[in-house]
Amino acid sequence: MACRISEFVLDCHDPEALARFWCEVLDFVVLDRDENDIEIGPREGFGGPQPAIVLSRTDEPKSGKLRLHIDVNATDRDQDAELQRLLAAGARAVDIGQTGEEPWYVLADPEGNEFCLLKGRIDPL
């Protein structure tokens, strides 16, 4: 038997704002909250095929590029249409040294955490 990734923890200054952003991006809902953390995840709840994300309040500044980032794929539209949706939701394009020839877009969430929008469309769960 092996382990499964059940959740990611992302330190942030404003868990409420990032919860709204990532819920919009991933079609997630708030699963739990306390005074410092908000857990978001799939509508089916914790423990399903998709990991949850815990947005954990911190006062420490983000320093440099994340060592782990999230990749997302559109499920119901092409990459360019999904890019426009993500930008409207609050993402912004960032340059981390890409050439411009990559088949993905490098974006950042409202607190500057990098993630990539990949080209291929995948089936929704």
Residue 19, token pair as written in the block: 């919860």
Tell me what pLDDT residue 87 has. Answer: 98
Residues 55 and 71 in one domain: no
Pairing of strands 52-57, 7-12: parallel
- Predicted TM-score (pTM) above 0.85: yes
Residues 54 and 86 in one domain: no
Closest CA to 116 of 82, 14, 40, 5: 82
Which tens digit of pLDDT belongs to each residue from 59-78? 988 887 778 889 999 999 99
Residues 55 and 109 in one domain: no
* Residues sharing a CB contact under 8 Å with residue 99, sequence separation 6 or more, in sequence order: none
